[in-house]
Amino acid sequence: MAFVQNVPFFSIMLSMFSGIVSSILPGKWARRLNTFMIIVVAALSAWLFAFMATSDIGSYTYAMGHFPAPIGNELRAGVLEAGTALFFCIIMLLSLWGGREKQILEITERQQNLYYILCNLLLSSLLALIYTNDLFTAYVFIEINTIAAGGLIMVRQNGHCIEATIRYMIMSLLGSGLLLMGICMLYDLTGHLLMSNIKEQVDIIMAAGTYRIPMLITIGIMTVGLAIKSALFPFHSWVPDAYGYSTVSSGAILSSLVSKGYIFLLIKIFYRVIGFDTIAGSHILNILFIFGLCGMIFGSVSAIGENDIRRMIAFSSVAQIGYIYMGLGLGTEMGVIAAVFHLLSHGATKSLLFVSAVGLTDASGGSRHFTDLTGAAFRNKTAGVGFLVGSFSMVGIPVFAGFVSKLLFAEAAVLLPNWKMFPTLIVLAVSTVLNAIYFLKTVIRIYTPVKPEVLAEKGFECKHFKQQVLFGVTIVLFIIVNLILGMKSQPIIELIEQGLHNFM
Amino acid sequence: MGVNLVQNIGEAVAMILFGIGFANLFFQKNLIKKIIGFNIMDTAIFLFLAEKGYIAGRMAPIVVDGIQDVEAYINPIPSGLVLTGIVVSVSVSALMLSLTIRLYHRYHTLDLDEISAKLRKEEM
């Protein structure tokens, strides 16, 4: 075994231990440690990614503590896992950089290091969800993830944030309760907790044709549990408050990473635990498909009616999660590839939107209402360009990441052999139009010039690139990530396809 | 059907309790009742696991009197899972309760809808 194959274990442990060390460090050093740790984990993941993409082993399992299969705990890595870990690290680092100025203002000095403890724990739990090969480990890390995410929302201690946290916790607990019940029932049916062992037993059970109803219920409650946790419509009631009122880094991390971690785990469960043919043969996917379609429409309609820019972006997340579940619900491999690609493109775009929206509101005296945002893009040019790119990507203008994922969804829909083709295409078109309405409305508003005397009256200030170098650099890096996803999509799609094959 | 139900009465009770807890966590307006619902839900899962691990007539998996035969003990894995589950459940309950205290100090009510209404009023 090559040394690089230890990377999954190293990256989980590194982020977890830096969380523990941060608890005794002052805020500034905790922040430095956090930045250093994320860069190291990103570099390690990139190393593993390069190794997995060039070698022909496909994927491998890593026995923790060298205990053999049914007893020991296992990690498992392939090209898709390493790539997702790398992507998550990059987005997390950029979100933290982009929101740093705001976060220093909004969080008290004494709690600065607590914020970074939560970030480190969140990253380690996300990495564990990506790499683990054991269902119960996945459950434990899901709970760590939930608690850390709750902390990230609540760290800015006003009434809105605490209320949002409690709503988030309630929905998450419903989801994880269902998931735990599902895992216990699956353990009861198969006698194993490791994914590969469960898969063998599930194949035997399905071939024998016994336990059909328990199996269906198990798959159903696990899927619904993870869907609730990743805010699929109609379980999205906590989303606008949690993403809209928390400090901006938290909003960006929650919307672009936390919900994606659960979806990644769900895809893993589909492929590696139950088997995609079994899932496609049950009717669970149709339910996901229909709720995904409803989410695409209702999320966009709610966003159009919203007057607060951050809440608008949050509602747009509901619509985008709908896209991902719609892709999974198609029940074909093409659909899953499109869903995974959208997972990446939405992650890159939504965090960019959140970060640049904060630049715009700061240039408007902290107000988040549309009337005050008029001309904000001229007062903070970097944020304006960032918001423009994010909007174009969400609407699906070519060159940007969102276009490729919409194209992939449409391709997957056209290739479908069943009734799902027309609803998918129609809803995709309607949803794109709705996206265009609210994003372009905002873009036009921020690029509408305002008379200088009005500005002077309201006391809005201009911000130049030199005053906010870190923010500017972050926006540029975000745009580069978006363009890479949009223009170099073909190799990425091939890698996703290869990664999904290795899942089996 | 009847015989199955009698044999699996523990699992059936666990499922009913799970439903009760789930519904309480979902539908109650009072935050404390929600947390009670959450605890009922988690305890139901632990009951289910304990039922599944138990084998009639065998001992808890702790070696006493030097008996090392596997046949003498119940399945220890579900017990281990229950322990992990309890740890998670306790910490989440503590977090929820502390949040509830915060909200109660600020808004003097435990009703989540009322808190939301007050928040909206604050904003105007």
What is the interface pTM, i.e. ipTM, of the complex?
0.94
CA distance A382 to A136: 45
> Which residue ranges form the domains of chain B, and what is each CATH number?
2-123 (1.10.287.3510)
Q: Which residue of B has its CA nearest to A164?
A: B116
Q: Which residue of B has its CA nearest to A153?
A: B99
How high is the pLDDT of residue B82?
93
Residue A59 pairs in a beta bridge with: A78
In the block, residue with structure tokens 């281990």: B80
Closest Cα in chain A to B38: A173
pLDDT at B4: 83
Secondary structure class of A451 (helix, strand, coil): coil
Structure tokens at A132: 């683990």
| Residue the block writes with tokens 């009510």 | B109
Q: Report the C-alpha gap between A300 and A320 in whole angstroms.
A: 9
**Alpha carbon distance B111, B124 (integer Å):** 21
CB count within 10 Å of CB B116 equals 16
Look at A170 and B25 and tell me if their CB atoms are within 8 Å: yes
Q: How far is CA A339 from CA A54, A92, A159, A269, A404, in A?
A: 24, 21, 36, 15, 11
With b for 16 or more beta-carbon neighbours within 10 A and e for fewer, the A211-241 pattern comes to eeeebeebbbbbbbbbbbbbbbbebbebbbb
Give the pLDDT confidence score for residue A187 in this predicted structure. Answer: 92
| B81 with A184: Cβ contact below 8 A | yes
Which chain B residues are Cβ-neighbours of A136 within 8 angstroms? 81, 84
- In DSSP notation, A33-88 reads HHHHHHHHHHHHHHHHHHHHHHSS--EEEEEGGG--TTTS-EEEEEHHHHHHHHHH
Q: Which residue has the tokens 């830096």?
A: A18
The 10 Å CB-count burial string (b at 16+, else e) for A248-257 is: bbbbbbbbbb
What's the farthest any 2 CA atoms get from each other in chain A? 79
Per-residue confidence (pLDDT) for residue B1, from 0 to 100: 65
Which residue among A166, A180, A193 places its CB closest to the CB of B103? A166
What is the pLDDT at residue A371? 81
Residues A432-468 as b or e (16 or more Cβ within 10 Å = b) = bebbbebbeebbebbeeeeeeeebeeeebeebeeeeb
* Cβ–Cβ below 8 Å for A162 and B103: yes
pLDDT tens sequence across A435-457: 999 888 889 988 888 877 777 77
All residues of chain A having their beta carbon less than 8 Å from the beta carbon of residue B122 are 159
Mutate which: A167, A181, A213, vs B, most B CBs within 10 A: A181
Cα–Cα distances (Å) from B115 to A109, A138, A237, B121, in that order, read: 28, 34, 15, 10
Angle, vertex CA A394, rays to CA A393 and CA A399, nearest 5:
20
Per the CB < 8 Å rule, is A162 touching B99?
yes
- How far apart, in whole angstroms, are the C-alpha atoms of residue A75 and residue A115? 28
Largest CA distance in chain B: 72
Looking at chain A, which residue has its C-alpha nearest residue B123? A160
Secondary structure (3-state) at A217: helix
B44-to-A125, A146, A216, B19 alpha-carbon distances in Å? 26, 21, 21, 9
Window A:126-185, CB contacts with B under 8 Å: 136, 140, 143, 146-147, 150, 154, 157, 159-160, 162-163, 165-167, 169-170, 173-174, 177-178, 180-181, 184
- B96 vs chain A: nearest CA distance in angstroms? 7
The closest CB to that of B41, out of A167, A177, A188, belongs to A177
Q: Tell me the angle at which helices A333-362 and A259-268 cross, rounded to the nearest 10 degrees.
A: 170
The chain B residue lying nearest A165, using CA atoms, is B99
Helix (H, G, I), strand (E, B) or coil at A172: helix
Distance from CA of A219 to the nearest CA of B (A): 16
pLDDT in tens, B48-86: 999 888 888 888 888 877 777 878 888 888 988 999 999
Exposure string of A75-114, with b = 16+ CB inside 10 Å and e = fewer, is: bbbbbbbbbbbbbbbbbbbbbbbbbbbbbeebbeeeebbb
DSSP string, chain B: -HHHHHHTHHHHHHHHHHHHHHHHHHH--BHHHHHHHHHHHHHHHHHHHHHHH--TT-B-S---TT---GGGB--HHHHHHHHHHHHHHHHHHHHHHHHHHHHHHHHS--BHHHHHHHHHHHH-
Residue in chain B lying closest to A141 (CA):
B88
For residue B34, pLDDT over 90 is answered with yes
Contacts of A103 (CB under 8 A, 6+ apart): A96, A115, A247, A248, A249
For residue A169, the chain B residues in CB contact (below 8 A) are 92, 95-96, 99
Å from A240 to nearest chain B CA?
13
Contact assessment for residue A324 and residue A295, using Cβ atoms and an 8 Å cutoff: no
Q: Is A367 helix (H, G, I), strand (E, B) or coil?
A: coil
Cα torsion angle, A250, A252, A256, A257, sign: negative
Q: B103 and A188 in contact by Cβ < 8 A?
A: no
Regions in chain A scoring below 50 on pLDDT: none
* Record: contact A173-B92, CB cut-off 8 A: yes
Cβ pair A162:B88 closer than 8 A: no
Query: What pLDDT score was predicted for residue A56?
Result: 80
Nearest CB to B102; choose among A140, A162, A184: A162
Read off φ and ψ for residue B111, nearest 5 degrees.
Answer: -80, 120
Contact at CB, B52 and A184, closer than 8 angstroms: yes
Paired tokens of A295: 């989410």
Of all residues in chain A, the one with the smallest CA distance to B14 is: A181
Residue A502: the pLDDT is 83
- DSSP classification of residue A329: H
A187 vs B: CB within 8 A: yes
pLDDT of the residue at A211: 86
Mutant choice from B1, B25, B95, B110 vs A, greatest count of A C-beta within 10 A: B95
Residues of chain B found within 8 Å of residue A157, distances taken between Cβ atoms: 102
Q: How many Å apart are CA A435 and CA A346, to the nearest integer?
A: 13
Residue B85: partners with Cβ closer than 8 Å, 6 or more residues away: A180, B42, B45, B46, B49
Q: Which residues of B touch A (CB under 8 A)?
A: 18, 21-22, 25-26, 31, 34, 38, 41-42, 45, 48-49, 52, 77-78, 81, 84-85, 88, 91-92, 95-96, 99-100, 102-103, 106-107, 112, 115-116, 118-119, 122
Q: What are phi and psi of B105, to 5 degrees?
A: -60, -35
Q: Are A334 and A411 in contact (CB under 8 A)?
A: yes
Q: Are residues A160 and B119, on separate chains, in Cβ contact within 8 Å?
A: yes
